[in-house]
Structure 1
Amino acid sequence: MSFVHSGGREERATNHTTFVVDQLGRAIVAGEYPEGTMIPLDPDLCEMFGVSRTVVREAKKTLIAKGVIQSKAKVGTHVRKSDDWNMFDEDVLMWHAAQKNPVKFYEELFEIRMIFEPAAAAKAATMANSVDSARLSQLCDDMEHATDRASFAVADYEFHKQILKLSRNRFLHSLGDMVQTALYSLFMTEANDAFPQSKVEVAVKHRKIALAIACGEAANARDAMTAVISESFARTQPRCE
């Protein structure tokens, strides 16, 4: 028996499962399989994706765990109502962000961010030390001096993730993936030619948050974070010609 070969088969199976999960998930979120409708039978999915039944079964288990589909004996597998989907799941978030016109997604994401991020900033202002504040300031520098959109997006995400961490609240810290997806969505929708002009302005607004946290000013940190999220949401909205 060759453990190398066995591992290779296992790795390929995992990759195939991930692919099927991603393709079905995207299709469901896009409405190709509306709520309450049945997804194709296992043999059809095997043929559709060129994979084994084992891969299809594992993919369905994953989608069931994400709350996207439900399987019943002698009935089949159908798409659950979108209200039942796990919107805190990173994949589900990314599938929504990848849609061509995810207006409702942006609105709901904006609402939930406005609930927890300003509160996290206020809490961070009561907990942060000089080292923490220096890290936030450095991330603002990274945003301002970013040479491309990818490095800017990373600095932006790390800044928000750091504030969630500084809240010393494990529940808030765990919401980092949601913030990452929100910022990634914004990154993907903004026009490329807006990057050089907007990065300095965005960095300045983030510095207001960092300064308030460094000074222990909870109310100002909350207000500054609210302003940043509002600006971020505004940039996702269609512009009038």
Structure 2
Amino acid sequence: MSLTSAGGTSQQAFNNTSKVVDQLGMAIVSGDYAEQTMIPLDPDLEEMFGVSRTVIREAKKTLVGKGLLQSKAKVGTRVRPSSDWSMFDPDVLRWHASLRKPGPFLNELHEIRLIFEPAASAMVARRASPADCEQLTQQFRRMAAATDHVAYAVANIEFHTSILHLSRNRFLSSLGDMVQAALFSVYRIGHDRARIEATGNMQQASIDTYRQLVDAIRQGDAERAEATMADAIVLFRENLS
């Protein structure tokens, strides 16, 4: 076997594994395979997906790592309780955001963001350098100037991720990746119904809120920055309703 063909085989196996992980993971998150129930046996999964046993085993191993499955020898593979799932995992976030009725997921996402993003904004207000403030200002301007949904989403995600990184707290900075993945998933499937319209009152309210947030950070007003970030997150959730 040539190196080229070996590489091609390896890539095909990777693609097949990714496909099984994605489809099986989505089926678990959507409830097709309920919590605490057994998923089909390997031979049945091989036939279902048209792949080898090796691919099925790799896919199951990946889902075990994400907290969705638990595998026991001579017993089988069971779906773990949703409380055990790795909710910060980008795939798990994406699967939840892709649900036909993602309301409960969005509510939980809203709650966790309200816990740490306002606090991070207060830290940024206390610690931001002039260069940090300029970075946030430029990102805000891109949001304000956006003329379509995608441009606004990109600028908005960059802004929120920057807030967490600029907090200078490594734990919060790591959460920035989670927020980025979650917001990208929500925007990507179009659950954010606040399209970028010049006459949109809700959209204008969001822009005004971010303007006030940048101003609070520039002035070093931690209390106002914290409250304003909370307002921005509440507006985001209202836009999804």
TM over 0.5: yes
CA contact (8 A) 1:186 1:235 kept: no
Q: Give the aligned partner of residue 74 of structure 1.
A: 74
Q: Give the aligned partner of residue 120 of structure 2.
A: 120
**Which range moved further: 161-170 or 228-237?**
228-237
Secondary structure of 1:189's partner? Answer: coil
Q: Give the aligned partner of residue 57 of structure 2.
A: 57
Could you report, residue by residue, the CA deviation over 1:10-58 in whole angstroms, capped at 9, with x for unpaired residues?
A: 1111111111101001000100000111111111111111111111100
| TM alignment of 1:80-91, pairs within 5 A | 80-91=80-91
1:195 and 2:187 aligned: no
Q: Give the aligned partner of residue 167 of structure 1.
A: 167
Q: What TM-score do the two structures reach when normalised by structure 1?
A: 0.93
Deviation of 1:186 (Å)? 4.6
Q: Give the aligned partner of residue 232 of structure 2.
A: 228
| TM alignment of 1:124-143, pairs within 5 A | 124-143=124-143
CA contact (8 A) 1:20 1:56 kept: yes
Secondary structure of 1:138's partner? Answer: helix
| TM alignment of 1:195-214, pairs within 5 A | 195-196=196-197, 197=200, 198-214=202-218
CA contact (8 A) 1:68 1:82 kept: yes
Aligned equivalents of 1:179 and 1:172: distance in 2?
A: 10
CA contact (8 A) 2:46 2:56 kept: yes
CA contact (8 A) 2:193 2:240 kept: no
Count of aligned pairs between the two proteins: 236
Deviation of 1:185 (Å)? 5.0
Secondary structure of 1:43's partner? Answer: helix
Q: Give the aligned partner of residue 30 of structure 1.
A: 30
Secondary structure of 2:40's partner? Answer: coil
Aligned equivalents of 1:124 and 1:2: distance in 2?
A: 54
Aligned equivalents of 1:232 and 1:101: distance in 2?
A: 17
- Runs of 4+ in structure 1 off by over 4 angstroms are none
Q: What TM-score do the two structures reach when normalised by structure 2?
A: 0.93
Deviation of 1:4 (Å)? 1.9
Structure 2 runs not aligned, ≥5 long: none
Aligned equivalents of 2:43 and 2:36: distance in 1?
A: 20
Secondary structure of 2:141's partner? Answer: helix
Aligned-residue identity in percent: 53
CA contact (8 A) 2:193 2:239 kept: no
Q: Give the aligned partner of residue 152 of structure 1.
A: 152
Q: Amino acid of the residue matched to residue 121 of structure 1?
A: S
Aligned equivalents of 1:77 and 1:87: distance in 2?
A: 20
Secondary structure of 1:32's partner? Answer: coil
Could you report, residue by residue, the CA deviation over 1:211-237 in whole angstroms, capped at 9, with x for unpaired residues?
A: 111111111110110100111112222
Q: Give the aligned partner of residue 107 of structure 1.
A: 107
Could you report, residue by residue, the CA deviation over 1:98-133 in whole angstroms, capped at 9, with x for unpaired residues?
A: 001112111111111011100110111111111111
CA contact (8 A) 1:97 1:181 kept: no
Q: Amino acid of the residue matched to residue 54 of structure 1?
A: T
CA contact (8 A) 2:90 2:182 kept: no
Structure 1 runs not aligned, ≥5 long: none
Secondary structure of 2:196's partner? Answer: helix
Aligned equivalents of 1:9 and 1:210: distance in 2?
A: 51
